[in-house]
Amino acid sequence: MPFLTGAMSFREYKVEGAYPPNYRKAFEDGLARYAFRAPQPARGETRAAGWANPRRLLDPDLTFPALLIDDYLFAALRVDRLALNPRLFKARLAERMAAKSRELGRKRLARADRDALADVLKREMLAETSPTTSVYEWVWHLEGRRVFFASAGEKLNAEFSDLFEECFNLALTPLFTYFRALDWAQAHGKTEALDVVAPSGGML
Amino acid sequence: MTDLLNEIQEKAFLGREFLTWLLLGAMKSGPQFNIKGVGAFELQFDRTIVLEGEDTGARRVTLAGSTVSIAPEVLAALRSGKLVSRARLRFLWDDSTWDVTLNGATFDFSGVRVPVPNVPEVEELFILRLRELEKFLKFFTALFHHFLALRLDGGRWKATLKEFEELAVWENAAP
């Protein structure tokens, strides 16, 4: 729980674009639409991602009263992954293939039969498997138009900002060195100087 | 999009030069800074400094220890053209002490510790932590803006580099 206790690690974003007139309702609708839903192995899903309440992970209530603390919307990106135990899968598949061979009175199964057995077994085993759950907190200071996402991983940040943009119809700009410099340069008429500035080539 | 990504990568050196400027400032004048628009503060390079050349990777130097910023290896790495790419910093400003590890290329923050009183109520604690974090980010932004004003002014930056060169000469002459 980095934003509640201990040290905080995060990437900072600036929220771009105007909030809709009734933003509270619009944002709550977005949160509900993109709420976390468990992966469905019957549909071939092994991974699912969506919003959750970091303080009550299983609570489906993602309304403002549940998530808002002062002017901070405190939520999480929950990611569940289902993975097979490969050794167990191989062993159970071998059993099923042997049983099927006996049933058909053949020494070897056709490739299509093997693939069909593997597919059914995979879905069965995934349905029995507990997911690995990761929770990445994020905080949105609504008035300050800043978002802090508790991960520095590039893929995860890309997934987070894509989901945020789809959900709230607002773009996020990561406050990398360049964007921080660009903000300042634009405000001080120095964009040309920023465009041409080059490394000093060592400072001693 | 590719142009923007190129621009982000091409200007990432500004973050490394910013950290190096802070380090050289501390080596030159000690941990006490007084910067217009920011105010008086103390900066300690705490525990870890990573220095890299422009072509990163094999030429990376990582130094750790409580007196890392005055280690001769740091000056040697700076003289060989390396810049600080990551550092653990402690800022003391106003009545706050902030500990933070900063990645110069991305300005991602990690291990940020902010001072908050011990309060039993979770929501109150959360608000105090976030307010203190935003106070730090405001301070940090003002500091980076001061650096930018210097860095994007050819004449002032040249003068700053000259001062640092004098530091290197002085350090060389030291017994």
ipTM: 0.88
Sort out which chain B residues have CB atoms less than 8 A from A174's CB and list them: 106
Q: Tens digit of pLDDT per residue, chain A (204 long)?
A: 789 999 999 999 999 999 999 999 999 999 999 999 999 988 889 999 999 999 999 999 999 999 999 999 999 999 999 999 999 999 999 999 999 999 999 888 999 999 999 999 999 999 999 999 999 999 999 999 999 999 989 999 999 999 999 999 999 999 999 999 999 999 999 999 999 999 988 777
Q: Extract the runs of DSSP E, i.e. beta strands, from chain A.
A: 8-16, 47-52, 68-69, 72-81, 132-141, 146-149, 171-174
CA A200 to CA B82: how far, in whole Å? 11
Per the prediction, chain B carries an average pLDDT of: 88
CB pairs under 8 A between A and B: 132
**Bigger pLDDT: B60 or A54?**
A54
Phi and psi at residue A180, to the nearest 5°:
-65, -40
Instruction: Please judge whether A202 and B165 are an interchain contact, meaning their C-beta atoms are less than 8 angstroms apart.
Output: no
What pLDDT is stored for residue B9 in this prediction?
Answer: 87
Predicted TM-score of the model (pTM): 0.89
A139: nearest CA in chain B? B130
pLDDT digit string, tens, across residues B127-159:
999 999 999 999 999 999 999 999 999 999 999
Q: How many CB atoms lie within 10 A of CB B42?
A: 14
CA dihedral A107, A126, A83, A37 (to 10 degrees): 150
Cβ-count burial B68-101 (b if 16+ within 10 Å, e if not):
bbeeeebbebbeebbbbbbbbbbbebeeeebbbb
Structure tokens that stand for B19 in this block:
């950290």
CA A191 to CA B154: how far, in whole Å? 14
pLDDT digit string, tens, across residues A33-51:
999 999 998 888 999 999 9
Dihedral of alpha carbons B38, B42, B47, B52, sign = positive
Whether residue B85 contacts residue B16, with contact meaning beta carbons closer than 8 Å, is answered with yes
